[in-house]
């Protein structure tokens, strides 16, 4: 849906066959995710999935998400059925959802799908904890993928973040990523800077204490940094 599947797939294959691949990584060591742009119909979703597989050139897609709950109940359920069939046909390894609220997940589970969503990718960070959604996901074994885990740098200088970053001798970004991991989420930090990408991955050397986790949880102000379709019909 981001019109970059061909470029990303080509880059992955180029790397795997290059001298830069010093550890001998193979296709199965790479986790490639794509999405369905909109929920319209079963047929359109199946066509889109097949096109995504063809465009990326990787043989299959590791994780395929319904990008949002927009479209209505019937369309959501039809598109999930398309994901199930794509999994059966080997086009997708794992299916998931994105930006789904509790009512959308309840609706999907009530339909008794053959395959349950493995992931819900949604904006989550200390300033938008989405406790209701994340609790529901945990209760139903749906992994939370937290996009915008750094709140798009809008709260990096918040006094609490600054203070705790100093306490643990880490950057504000490292602190927020660690918060996400300790809640059991998979954070998806974004950067174009090599040094920041490396720093964002270097968060194993510390653990946020329980009382500080509660303090960070208390920063919730329902800060939405992009869009918020979790309550749509």
Which helix (H) or strand (E) is 123 found in, with range? strand 119-123
35 beta partners: 65
Which three-class secondary structure string do you get for 177-224? Answer: HHHHHHCCCEEECCCCCHHHHHHHHCCCCCCCCHHHHHHHHCCCCCCC
Residues 6+ apart with CB under 8 A from 161: 126, 155, 172, 175, 176, 216, 219
**Which tokens is 131 given?**
């406790």
Residue with token string 């996009």 = 147
Does residue 140 have an active-site annotation?
no
CA distance 34 to 229: 19
Q: Catalytic one among 31, 42, 60, 67?
A: 67
Active site residue 3: no
Please give the backbone phi and psi of residue 183, each rounded to the nearest 5 degrees, phi first: -85, -5
Going across the sheet that includes 143-147, the strands are 33-36, 61-66, 92-98, 119-123, 143-147, 186-188
Instruction: Enumerate the active-site residues.
Output: 2, 67
């Amino acid at each position: 849906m981001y019109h970059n599947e061909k470029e990303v797939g080509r880059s992955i294959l180029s790397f795997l066959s290059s001298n830069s691949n010093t550890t001998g990584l193979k296709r199965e060591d790479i986790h490639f995710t794509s999405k369905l742009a909109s929920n319209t119909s079963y047929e359109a979703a199946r066509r889109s999935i097949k096109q995504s597989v063809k465009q990326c050139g990787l043989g299959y897609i590791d994780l395929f998400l319904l990008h949002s709950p927009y479209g209505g109940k019937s369309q959501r359920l039809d598109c999930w059925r398309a994901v199930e069939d794509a999994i059966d046909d080997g086009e997708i390894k794992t299916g998931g959802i994105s930006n789904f609220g509790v009512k959308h997940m309840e609706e999907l589970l009530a339909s008794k799908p053959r395959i349950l969503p493995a992931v819900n990718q949604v904006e989550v960070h200390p300033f938008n904890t989405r406790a209701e959604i994340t609790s529901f996901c945990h209760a139903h074994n749906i992994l939370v993928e937290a996009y915008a885990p750094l709140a798009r740098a809008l709260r990096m200088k918040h006094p609490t973040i600054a203070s705790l970053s100093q306490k643990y001798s880490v950057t504000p970004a490292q602190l927020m990523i660690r918060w996400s991991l300790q809640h059991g989420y998979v954070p998806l930090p974004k950067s174009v800077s090599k040094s920041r990408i490396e720093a964002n991955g270097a968060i194993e050397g510390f653990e946020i204490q329980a009382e500080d986790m509660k303090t960070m949880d208390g920063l919730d102000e329902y800060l939405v940094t992009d869009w918020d379709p979790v309550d749509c019909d």
